[in-house]
Amino acid sequence: MESEFGPKDFISMMPDNVVNNILHRLPLQEAVRTGILSRNWRFKWTMLSEVVCDANFFAYLIERRGENSFGMIASRLLLHFNDAITKFFLDLTLLNVEDILHLIMFVSNKGIKDLTLEYWTRPHVNLPTHIFSCLELQHLRISGCCFNPPSGVRGFPNLLSLKLCCVEFGGGDLGGFITRCPLPEILKLDYISYSGSSVKLAEIAKLENLKILSFPLCHLEATSSCNVFELMGCLPKLQELSLDFQDYNLTQGGAIKQFTTAFPDLKAFKITSIKFGNGIMLSRVLEIIRHFPNLQTLEFIAVQQADDPFPISIPIPNPEVEYNMMELESVEFRNFRGLENEVYFIKYFLACSPSLKKIHIVWDFKLEPVEQLFHAKKLLKLHRASPVAEIDFGF
């Protein structure tokens, strides 16, 4: 369309909210390049409140600038942002310690609310203590770094979600640090390396708002063989739960502790590093599952027992367990080997889940095709309470 003064410049006339919407959908390097569109667009990209410096961003810098200027270029870009940066994703892998310090210092003064830091090479880099001055943080995700809260650190009073994956946790007091973040609805501690004092049940119990929890049980204080049940009793609002049994030892002594109430809000349950050759562990897990009446998705990731390359199946205690009806819709078994106890669990879920749609089985990589076929035929013959339930086999 043309006016009496010539064609209209629609690009320059776009309102800021439309421009912002466009820029937030572009990779950072492409958002910066929009400055060539017109004089009016030259610094539009500085309105961004969400910045992503990921592997693709640094690959672009390598292609255009060489391999020694990552931190300097990223720092110069960020200096153009005058407004708050509320969300920041930073891949630390190609940055040196000084660059990391400068970038964390910068965003700590920008009102950051959502921060993701990733570092996937070894040795892991130590995060600068400036991260603990980001008191407005609501979401923090750290992967593959050394996370060392100094003694007496205030914590993150506004944090709603904390996710630590493959992190070396220093600081000596994981439970104490967690309690200094009193508001989280999401807490995920996956594959963390930690040699300090164990997390106490009382510390977990203070997180009254938790809806999603992923926790390695080996870091839980070993007050008794029933502490898994005590942990669950502290968190009645949970909707999703993931428990890692790696290096977690259970003993036979004592009766299995019963829950006093069911947990109707819990919809998803994931069990990692479960040993299907350990009848004690399985009895505890089954007792937990039976108290989740509205559970919809369930996932098992099995691990082979380190002290027995070919573990012998151990019958699950209390063979007269009642088949309580469940709301399960999806079940997944990973590293399935066809042990007697694995078949028992599948038989149980098929029999007590009238709403079940699929059981997905991922074979253990050591299982030969002939063995896979044998176990598949056996499982496909099992009775199903659901008329639409399927058993799907994959890798």
Q: Which fold has domain 227-395?
A: 3.80.10
The DSSP secondary-structure symbol of 131 reads: G
Helix runs in 154-226, H state only: 174-179, 201-205
Residue 124 DSSP label: P
pLDDT digits (tens, 9 = 90+) for 162-210: 999 999 887 678 888 888 888 999 999 998 888 777 888 888 888 889 9
Three-state SS at 392: strand
- pLDDT, one tens digit per residue, over 25-69 is 888 888 888 877 777 777 788 888 888 988 888 888 887 766 566
Which pTM does this prediction carry? 0.85
- DSSP for 36-82 reads GS-GGGTTGGGG-SEEEE-HHHHHHHHHHH-SS-HHHHHHHHHTT--
- Six-digit token string for 123: 């040795």
Phi-psi category of residue 144: left, alpha or beta, with phi > 0 → left and psi -120 to 50 → alpha: left
Amino acid of residue 367: L
- pLDDT value of residue 6: 47
CA pair distance 392, 333, nearest whole angstrom? 10
- Report the 10 Å Cβ neighbour count for 286: 18
Please report the pLDDT score of residue 9 as a whole number. 60
User: For residue 261, what pLDDT band results from cuts at 50, 70 and 90?
Assistant: low
The pLDDT of residue 171 is 64
Task: Give the other-Cβ count within 10 Å of 12's Cβ.
Answer: 13
Residue 387: is its pLDDT beyond 80? yes
Asked whether the predicted pLDDT for residue 281 surpasses 50, the reply is yes
Q: How far is CA 36 from the centre of its chain?
A: 40
- The CA distance from 348 to 87, in Å, is 45
Angle of CA points 180, 185, 190, to nearest 5°: 80
Q: What's residue 317's pLDDT?
A: 43
Q: Between the CA of residue 49 and those of 110, 137, 140, what are the distances in Å?
A: 10, 14, 16
Q: How far apart are CA 280 and CA 123, in angstroms?
A: 38
**Of 39-53, 83-97, 138-152, the least confident:** 39-53
CA 141 – CA 139 distance, rounded (Å):
7
pLDDT of residue 139: 96
Of 148-157, 218-227, 295-304, 355-364, which gets the smallest average pLDDT?
218-227
pLDDT of 7-22, one tens digit each?
A: 566 666 777 778 778 8
Answer whether residue 361 shows pLDDT above 80. Answer: yes
Residue 257: band (very low, low, confident or very high) from pLDDT cuts 50, 70, 90: low
Instruction: Answer whether residue 333 shows pLDDT above 90.
Output: yes
Confidence tier at 125 by pLDDT (50, 70, 90): confident
Residues 23, 43: contact at Cβ < 8 Å? Answer: no
Per-residue pLDDT at 224: 46
Weakest mean pLDDT among 131-145, 223-237, 304-318: 304-318
**Identity at 122, one-letter amino acid code:** R
Q: Give the separation between CA 258 and CA 318, rounded to whole angstroms.
A: 14
Q: Which pLDDT does position 323 carry in this prediction? A: 60
Mean pLDDT of 71-84: 78
pLDDT tens track for 297-327: 999 999 876 544 444 444 444 434 556 788 9
At residue 241 the predicted structure's pLDDT band, cuts being 50, 70 and 90, is very high
Q: How many Å apart are CA 4 and CA 309, to the nearest integer? A: 84
d(CA 16, CA 107): 23
Q: Residue 240 belongs to what H/E stretch?
A: strand 240-244
Tell whether the model's pLDDT for residue 94 goes beyond 70: yes
- pLDDT, tens only, 21-30: 888 888 888 8
pLDDT reported for residue 258: 56
pLDDT band for position 244 (cuts 50, 70, 90): very high
Distance (Å) of CA 88 to CA 60, 103, 104, 118, 165: 18, 10, 10, 11, 18
